[in-house]
Amino acid sequence: MITGKNPARQRGITLIELMIAMLLALVLTAAVITTFTQNKQSFNQDENIQRMQDDARYALREIAFDLSMAGYVSDILIGSAARNDDSLTIATDCGPAGEDLWMYQLMSNATGESLSVTAVDNATGGSASASYSCIDGGEVQPGTDIVGIKRVSGARTAVPEAGTVYLRSNGTIGLLYQEPANTPPAINVPPPFSEWRYRPSIYYIRNYGDAPGDGVPTLCRKVLTGGVPAMVTECLAKGIENLQIEYGIDSDGDGNANAFLSAPTVAQMQGAVSARIFLLASTLNVDTAYTSDKTYFVSNAPAYTPVDDKHRRVISTTVGIRNIRSLKLLGF
């Protein structure tokens, strides 16, 4: 006969063991969640910075290309060789008060100076609208630069579009007109000639993005539309807080800049052969784990120390204003 307790009896998990297991599980879960959260924050931060940099590079590339082409009037070389046709009209002009059809003035009617590049340094609302009437002074980001550029497109137009403004050129004289031109036009351009689309633009920083008051600084430009010609707004990149430009002025006619000026006069701008362009860009989304405490010095703009949770970068480039430089070398 077998007597005594069953030696094969199994014991269950005690309460203490269960609590230890639950604690270990909670620690592991917390570690996984923390790692996931940190990785997600890092990913979002990298994505925001990358988007900011891409937008800033695109904006910089647009301004740089336009400035490099400033003063390009096809094969007639200089704006004084072109005349405006009587057909030219504009619904919304964009020049100083009292200057009729200013956007079509390749050369100043008053002084005969080239208007290929015009500028406002560290603009206020008043100085912006006084120089460029199509810009509402209340929407300009204070302390930022504005630059106006006049040129024609770099490619010949095969079939002119009705209502669009073109420069007709045969290499000797030119006619700035709105398609279809008057018959007879103000000046006869004997064939063979080519048609070049007129592409003026004015770059500035607007103090909002999608709607007034949203506080998102945005790089915009005024461009000339076809149909019923008018200067209209076209925005390029949000988060651009500052635009500063320094102009390389050639004062001795050798085609090279002798000095870089932040606020050149119209007379000095006749010798602008290059430009340094600076953009201050910020991320659109905040980073709660980051505090911006840097001070930014961009050209002659006031020192700027934002105290917020956005990342920022200053990007810059230097471009040659090739057409003005070529004219300087030719003695014009």
Q: What is the pLDDT of residue 43?
A: 58
**CA R_g for the chain:** 30
Residue 284: count other Cβ atoms within 10 Å of its Cβ: 14
In tens digits, the chain (332 residues) has pLDDT values of 445 555 555 566 787 877 887 888 888 887 777 776 666 666 566 788 899 999 999 999 999 999 999 999 998 888 889 999 988 999 999 999 889 999 999 999 889 999 999 999 999 999 999 999 999 999 999 999 999 999 999 777 778 889 999 999 999 999 999 999 888 888 889 999 999 999 999 999 999 999 999 999 999 999 999 889 999 999 999 999 999 999 999 999 888 999 999 999 999 999 999 999 999 999 998 888 888 889 999 999 999 999 899 999 999 999 999 888 776 666 66
Q: Which residues of 17-53 are buried (b: 16+ CB within 10 A; e: fewer)?
A: eeeeeeeeeeeeeeeeeeeeeeeeeeeebeebbebbe
**Would you kindly state where each structural domain of the chain is located, as residue ranges?**
42-330
Q: Is the peptide bond before 184 cis (omega within 30 degrees of 0)?
A: yes
d(CA 45, CA 322): 39
DSSP class of residue 155 equals S
By the 10 Å C-beta count (0-12 exposed, 13-18 middle, 19+ buried), 104 is classed as buried
* Residue 149: per-residue pLDDT: 98
pLDDT recorded at residue 3: 52
Residues facing 220 on adjacent strands: 204, 235
Going by C-alpha positions, the residue among 124, 159, 116 that lies closest to residue 269 is 116
3-state secondary structure 175-225: EEEECCCCCCCCCCCCCCCEEEEECCEEEEEECCCCCCCCCCCEEEEEEEC
- One DSSP character per residue, 245-308 reads EEEEE-SSSSSS-SEEESS--HHHHTTEEEEEEEEEEE-SS--TT--B---B--TTSPPB---B
Cβ of 166: how many Cβ atoms within 10 Å? 24
pLDDT of residue 41: 65
List C-alpha distances in Å: 154 to 69, 79, 160, 168, 214: 8, 15, 15, 13, 37
DSSP conformation letters of 47-88 = HHHHHHHHHHHHHHHHHHHHHHTTT-BTBT-SGGGEEE-TT-
CA distance 68 to 58: 15
Among the listed residues 294, 272, 256, the one whose alpha carbon sits nearest the alpha carbon of residue 117? 272
Please measure the distance between the N-terminal and C-terminal CA atoms of the chain and give it in whole angstroms: 128
Predicted confidence at residue 4, as pLDDT, reads 52
The predicted pLDDT at position 1 comes to: 45
Place of tokens 């635009």: 243
The token pair at 53 is 């940099």
Residue among 326, 269, 275 at smallest CA distance from 67: 275
Contact between residue 324 and residue 273 where contact means Cβ atoms under 8 Å apart: yes
- Per-residue CA distances from 68 to 62, 94, 157, 185, 230 (Å): 10, 22, 21, 31, 24
